[in-house]
Amino acid sequence: MEDVLVIAKLPPAHLAYLDENFTCHRLFEAEDRAAFIDGVKDKVRAVVTNGFGGYDRALVEALPYLEIISVWGAGLQALDLDVARERRIVVTNTPDNSKIAVAELGIALLLAAARRITEAHEFVKSGAWASEAFARPGTGLFGKTCGIVALGTIGRAVAERAAAFQMNVLYFGPRKKDDVPYAYFDDVTAMASGSDFLILCCPELPATRGLITADVLRALGPDGILVNIARGAIVDEPALIEALRNKTIKAAGLDVFADEPNVPEALRKLDNVILVPHIGTNTADILEIRRTMCVANLKAYFSGQPVPAPVHVPKA
């Protein structure tokens, strides 16, 4: 069987499926990465990684016989495609309906925070309802204004769902889109001041790291709710903790954090934030697509067939 270097930790069932089809070398388990690579570099023709971790030039250059990189996931931001082009390496991924799953989670977090669902759940489970009413009214979505940070594929999916709840949709980004009816802002603070809810959908880039500052949170205001389904680094996390603690904003729903999986204790102790462990694409249907397509790309390549999901294929 072909030798494959697995550099990212994948779900156990997915690793087992790779093992059924290839001789896998688990770099992510190695204590000495350099020594591990040196021991397998002359036989590895393929790398498997994920869209979050990707791969870098140093890894590619350390593998002289590398021919294909199969990315488990749809994300491309962490991939050094320049070195793949230079080395004429095939790069594939596993396109799926991730944008829908992430958008659904964004709306779920918004609903949960706005309608106080987790608080109400704990209230009933505690038995308190038998002796008192749940006297903490939530916020409805109908007629409210939802500001979306970045109207890319995920942002558009969020916008469609927000509109279905009959919310007014605004968006911030580097440029205006001519094919949408939503109001455009080139200043995120200005958009936040006109929004009831702020949903972050942007990629992590130098221009977006720390984009959501204390000033933006103040602009969102004491009735505002922040939802982050983008990346933790987009938000000034200490500023968010202070804003939640001081009721500068009403609540937040977070799927991502600055130093995952290490979530600050101060954030975990707050009662006006909903925290989930980066589960935006963690649905059974998406995982099955990734499991099968990651292997299918490799099998097609090694059998001389066109890869099902090309990201980069060198020209003949």
pLDDT at 235: 98
Reply yes or no on whether the pLDDT at 316 is more than 80: no
Active-site residue (options: 20, 86, 122, 260): 260
pLDDT at 265: 97
Q: What is the pLDDT of residues 29-88, one digit of tens each?
A: 999 999 999 999 999 999 999 987 899 999 999 999 999 999 999 877 788 899 999 999
Domain segments of the chain: what residues?
3-96+284-312, 98-275
Q: What is the pLDDT of residues 266-315, one digit of tens each?
A: 999 999 999 999 999 999 999 999 999 999 999 999 999 999 999 999 98
Q: What is the pLDDT of residues 234-255, one digit of tens each?
A: 999 999 999 999 999 999 999 9
Residues 6+ apart with CB under 8 A from 297: 68, 70, 92, 94, 307, 308, 309
Active-site residue (options: 45, 209, 278, 312): 278
pLDDT at 154: 95
Is 86 marked active-site? no
pLDDT at 52: 79
Is 260 marked active-site? yes
Instruction: Say if domain 3-96+284-312 classifies as CATH 3.40.50.720.
Output: yes
The two domains 3-96+284-312 and 98-275 share their CATH topology (first three levels equal): yes
pLDDT at 124: 97
CATH number of 98-275: 3.40.50.720
Q: Give me the chain's average pLDDT, please.
A: 96
pLDDT at 97: 85
Residue 36 has φ and ψ, to the nearest 5°, of -65, -50
pLDDT at 315: 84
Please report where in the chains the tokens 């990734």 appear, as a residue.
Answer: 290
Average pLDDT on 172-196 reads: 97
Is 312 marked active-site? no
Strands 90-92 and 310-312: antiparallel
Active-site residue (options: 26, 156, 161, 231): 231
Residue 36, both tokens:
């591990």
Which of 35, 29, 27 is closest to 4 using CA atoms? 27
Average pLDDT on 176-181 reads: 96
Residue 221 has φ and ψ, to the nearest 5°, of 90, 170
306 cis-preceded (ω within 30 degrees of 0):
no
